[in-house]
């Protein structure tokens, strides 16, 4: 399984754009990159997933360079409610049989202030 | 839909006791997982299942057992509880489909079960 490296923590202010980069140097050809958000005392929640280039949804964008050895989660105009831990996961999805050993690292603690 | 439901939400055990954490999902997901999360740490995979009757070990399976007799249920059994098993336990489920048609394998988590072993 590809190992991921993220910053332990980041600080920001309301209204700013936040970019969290994840390094995954040994990503495999069939690996997807997925980001989750976790608030205290809750289970993680899916944010976004991508394979290459750029993916955007209603809450975030995910930028993946051509070599796919890193990815950047971009949160536009953060608010206090975006204070959470953000996890980058790299793993393939087995369509039939096999398993899905998605592992979480320690994540990035994002703190948003006024 | 209820999603993923875990019980109990809180439990205190004495060293050496046993218990079962219950997990059920109503989304007809084929994959189910148990994670544990220690304070300030990420989630560690204990066991997972790709379908009824099929389970496999994750990163930290020692001291735990699982079974998957139905698609909906995936209980986690703790035998001979130890203080090192004090943690928050999360059950999750996902559907494994073809990514080319939009399936992401998104994990849906329960609210967690906070276990303390004294």
Domain B4-117 has CATH 3.40.50.300: no
Residue B65: predicted pLDDT = 97
Which domain, by its residues, includes A59? Answer: 9-113
A96 pLDDT band (50/70/90 cuts)? very low
Mutate to test the interface with B, among A95, A102, A105, A108 (most CBs of B within 10 A): A102
A83 to chain B nearest CA, in Å?
15
Residue A1 lies in a domain: no
Look at residues A41, A82, A14 and name the one whose alpha carbon lies nearest to residue B37: A41
**What string of H, E and C letters represents the secondary structure of A42-101?**
CCCEEEEEECCEEEECCCCEEEECCCCCEEEEEECCCCHHHCEEEEEEEECCCCCCCCCC
User: What digits encode the pLDDT tens for the residues B11-49?
Assistant: 999 999 999 999 999 999 989 999 999 988 889 999 999
The two most distant CA atoms of chain A are separated, in Å, by 48
**Least confident residue range of A7-11, A18-22, A81-85, B95-99:** B95-99
Whether A80 has its CB under 8 Å from any CB of chain B: the answer is no
CA-closest candidate to residue A95, choices B31, B46, B47, B26: B31
Mean pLDDT value across residues A86-104: 66
Q: What percent of chain A has pLDDT over 90?
A: 67
The single-letter DSSP state of residue A5 is: B
Lowest-confidence range among A44-58, A83-97, B47-61?
A83-97
Burial class (CB in 10 A: 0-12, 13-18, 19+), B31: buried
Hey, is the C-beta of A34 within 8 angstroms of any chain B C-beta? yes
Q: What is the pLDDT of residue A103?
A: 75
Q: Is residue A88 part of a domain?
A: yes
**How many domains does chain A contain in total?**
1
What is the Cα–Cα distance from A71 to A27, expressed in whole angstroms? 11
Is A99 inside any structural domain?
yes
Three-state secondary-structure class, residue B112: coil
Task: Label the pairing between strands A9-13 and A108-113.
Answer: parallel
pLDDT(B61) > 70: yes
The per-residue pLDDT for B2 is: 81
Residue A44: inside a domain, yes or no? Answer: yes
**Would an 8 Å CB–CB cutoff place A105 in contact with chain B?**
yes
| Residue A4 resides in a domain | no
Instruction: Return residues 22-41 of B near A (CB < 8 Å).
Output: 31, 33, 35, 40-41
Q: Please report the pLDDT score of residue A99 as a whole number.
A: 43
pLDDT for residue A17 is more than 50: yes
**pLDDT (mean) for B76-93:** 96
The pLDDT score that the predictor gives to residue A95 is 44
Residue B53 pairs with which residues in a beta bridge? none
Q: Where are the domains of chain B?
A: 4-117
A92 has pLDDT over 80? no
Instruction: Check residue B109 and give its pLDDT.
Output: 95
Pick from B43, B106, B110: CB nearest A46:
B106
Does the beta-carbon distance from A93 to B105 stay under 8 Å? yes
A2 located within any domain: no
H or E element that contains B75:
none
Q: What is the pLDDT of residues A28-80, one digit of tens each?
A: 887 888 999 999 989 999 999 988 889 999 999 999 999 999 999 999 999 99
Residue B83 in 3-state DSSP? helix
- Other CB atoms within a 10 A radius of the CB of residue B15 amount to 11
Q: Using the predicted structure, report yes or no on whether residue A97 has a pLDDT greater than 50.
A: no
Find the CATH number of the domain harbouring A109: 2.60.40.10
Share above pLDDT 70 across residues of chain B, in percent, rounded to a whole number: 94
Q: Is A43 on the interface with B (CB under 8 A)?
A: yes
How confident is the model over B75-91, as a mean pLDDT? Answer: 96
pLDDT of residue B90: 97
Residue pair A95/B98 in contact (Cβ under 8 Å)? The answer is yes
Supply the pLDDT for residue A1: 58
């Amino acid at each position: 399984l590809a190992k991921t490296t993220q910053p332990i923590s980041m600080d920001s202010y309301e209204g700013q754009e936040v970019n969290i980069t994840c390094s995954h140097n040994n990503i495999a050809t069939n690996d997807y990159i997925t980001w989750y958000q976790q608030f205290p005392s809750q289970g993680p929640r899916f944010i976004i997933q991508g394979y290459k280039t750029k993916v955007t949804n209603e809450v975030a964008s995910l930028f993946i360079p051509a070599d796919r050895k890193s990815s950047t989660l971009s949160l536009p105009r953060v608010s206090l409610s975006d204070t959470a831990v953000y996890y980058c996961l790299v793993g393939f999805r087995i369509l039939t049989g096999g398993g899905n050993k998605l592992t979480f690292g320690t994540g990035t603690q994002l703190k948003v202030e006024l | 839909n209820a999603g993923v439901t875990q019980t109990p939400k809180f439990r205190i055990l004495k060293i050496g006791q046993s218990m079962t954490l219950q997990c059920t999902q109503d989304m007809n997901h084929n994959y189910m997982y148990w994670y544990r999360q220690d304070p300030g740490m990420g989630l560690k995979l204990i066991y997972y299942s790709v379908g009824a009757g099929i389970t496999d070990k994750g990163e930290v399976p020692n001291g735990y057992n699982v079974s998957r007799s139905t698609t909906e249920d995936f209980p986690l059994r703790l035998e001979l509880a130890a203080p090192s098993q004090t943690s928050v336990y999360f059950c999750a489920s996902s559907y494994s489909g073809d990514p080319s048609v939009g399936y992401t394998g998104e994990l849906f988590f329960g609210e967690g079960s906070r276990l303390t072993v004294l």
